[in-house]
Each structure stands twice: as C-alpha cells, then as structure tokens.
Amino acid sequence: MLATGNKMRSMYESMLEELMKGDVSSLAEVHAISSGLKSTCTTMAATNMEDCRKLMGGHGYSYFSGISHLWASYVPSNTYEGDNFLLTQQSARYLLKQIKDATTEPEKPEMQLAAFEHRAGRLVADLAATAMQDGVVWSDLNLECWRLNHAHSQYVLARSAVEGVAQAKAQGRSAETIAVLKRLSDLFALHSIQASLGDYLEDYFISPRQCQLLRQQIKDLQAALADDVVGLVDAFDFPDHYVNSALGSADGNVYQRLWDAAQREEINHRPPLFG
C-alpha cells in the first residue's frame, strides 16, 4: 500500500502538471485508479484492523489495546469521501472502456502479476457481456463492479509492490533489506490470490494442485518473515501517543502499561454495582 500510495501521488502530481498545460489525457485514468484504490484499500484496512484485534484475543477487545477507537474512527472511511460500492462503479466504467487494450496486451513475465491481470481481464469481459444485454440496469451490476474493481486494484497494489522492490534494488539497498521486501511483496501477492481462489478456479487458471503449492508457499513466507515483522512495523516510526495503545508501544512493556491504564480508568475507582 505504501508503494502504491507513493506511485499514486506521483501520478497525481504529473497529472496536475499536464492539466496546467491544458492536457486532460490522464484525468480519466487517475480518477479511475484512485477511486478503485480508495475502495479496495479502505476495505482492506478496516477488515485487517479487525483481524489484528482478533489476533490479540480478549486483550484486543479491551479499550486499552487502542484498536477499538482506531477501528471506530477508521471504519466510516468505507462510506465517506466516496461510498466504497459507488466508487467501484466508476472504476469499472473506466475498465470497460479499456477492455480492448486489456485483452490484447501481451502477458507479463511475472507469474503473480500475470495471474492478477488474467483475473481482472476475465472479470471485465464478463461485466461487458452482462452490461450489453437488453434491459440491464447499471446500478444492478454493483456486485460485479465491486468484484472487478477489487481484482484490478489488487493488481495495481501487487504491481506497485514488485516495482517497489526493483526501486529499492536500484537505490542500492542492502541484500538483506531486498530479501525482506521481496518476501513481503510475494506474501501480499500470494495471499491476495489465495483469498480470491474462486475467481482463479472458475476458469481453471489455477489447478487444485497449484492451490496446495500456493498454501505451502504462503506458510513458508510467513515463517521466513516472522522475525522481521516487528522491525517492519517499527520502520513506520509511529509515536506512542499516536498509536495510543497499552499493547503496542515502543518499549514493549505491555503488562505494566496495561496495569497503569487500568489504574487511571475512573470506573475502577468506584465500588462495583450490586445486581
């Protein structure tokens, strides 16, 4: 997401420069890709926050974990600044216009990206076939737009991650850093494919045997990345007051912080209620 955000910003900045010269040629693409990514990324973030809560069991549900207020303030982003369903209709319209290019573009060498491209290409062709039928109302195709948009946005995210690794190499980052970023990029791609296996199995793009291999690769990547997870999160350098969590803090002194937070809570200074 970070790599995609950087790319989106540079797309936006070069579009602004073009607009100043009266050139509007990139406006439709920037609008469609940013609409699609807004829907996909905010959906992923809200869902994954809830996954983080579950990973911490009952502690995750506690107010002191910081997750509950983070989630409560984040989840409306699925509605504001463009409802996530409506935005997918806009990106799907753009993709429908691109359908000719999408179906004639040669396959990329990278297997992961080829899988994402294939899925998005098939879904846009399916949507075009359905939308062209007599009497079809565009807003009734909301679910098809949603499915297509997320397939396309996942492709954009996976491609940005692959490009991000190549950029880190070009910048001369250490071999260890490149190896970790490559694992992260692979895990994102393979996990995203696994989460939508139905789309890939529907037209036999992936075989049942490949599904098993995919699951094994994901497990291997998770094991290889386990020791780097804390470092990767720390790399964002979020300050403690921003995270506002007794469980996630720089010093890792979880139990003392939980105890102190419980002591500060006003309700713990009152006697328990009867009944």
Ligand X SMILES: Cc1cc2nc3c(=O)[nH]c(=O)nc-3n(C[C@H](O)[C@H](O)[C@H](O)COP(=O)(O)OP(=O)(O)OC[C@H]3O[C@@H](n4cnc5c(N)ncnc54)[C@H](O)[C@@H]3O)c2cc1C
CA dist 220 and 243 (Å) reads 30
Instruction: Choose the binding region for ligand X from 83-91, 160-168, 180-188, 224-232 (rule: CB under 6 A).
Output: 83-91
CA distances from 3 to 7, 97, 238, 268 (A): 6, 26, 18, 44
CB 30 within 8 A of CB 15: yes
Quick one: 104 or 139, whose CB is closer to ligand X?
A: 139
73 binds ligand X (CB under 6 A): no
Quick one: 142 or 167, whose CB is closer to ligand X?
A: 142
With 0-12 / 13-18 / 19 or more C-beta atoms within 10 angstroms meaning exposed / middle / buried, residue 220 is middle
Residue 254: partners with Cβ closer than 8 Å, 6 or more residues away: 246, 247
Distance of closest approach, residue 138 Cβ to ligand X, in angstroms:
8
Quick one: 92 or 246, whose CB is closer to ligand X?
A: 92
83 binds ligand X (CB under 6 A): yes
Tokens 């040629």 correspond to what residue? 25
| The pair of three-digit structure tokens given for residue 4, joined into one six-digit string | 């995609």
Instruction: Choose the binding region for ligand X from 72-80, 173-181, 194-202, 261-269 (rule: CB under 6 A).
Output: 72-80
CA dist 231 and 174 (Å) reads 15
Binding test (CB under 6 A) with ligand X, winner from 85, 93, 99, 228: 85
How far, rounded to the nearest angstrom, does the alpha carbon of residue 135 sit from its chain's CA centroid? Answer: 35
CA dist 250 and 240 (Å) reads 7
Task: Tell me, by CB under 6 A, how many residues bind ligand X.
Answer: 8
Quick one: 83 or 203, whose CB is closer to ligand X?
A: 83
Instruction: Choose the binding region for ligand X from 82-90, 92-100, 171-179, 198-206 (rule: CB under 6 A).
Output: 82-90
| The pair of three-digit structure tokens given for residue 167, joined into one six-digit string | 């950029």
Backbone phi and psi for residue 171, each to the nearest 5 degrees, phi listed first: -80, 0
Binding test (CB under 6 A) with ligand X, winner from 6, 26, 142, 196: 142
Quick one: 85 or 238, whose CB is closer to ligand X?
A: 85
139 binds ligand X (CB under 6 A): yes
79 binds ligand X (CB under 6 A): yes
Quick one: 47 or 79, whose CB is closer to ligand X?
A: 79
Binding test (CB under 6 A) with ligand X, winner from 13, 14, 50, 76: 76
| Binding residues for ligand X (CB under 6 A) | 76, 79-80, 83, 85-86, 139, 142
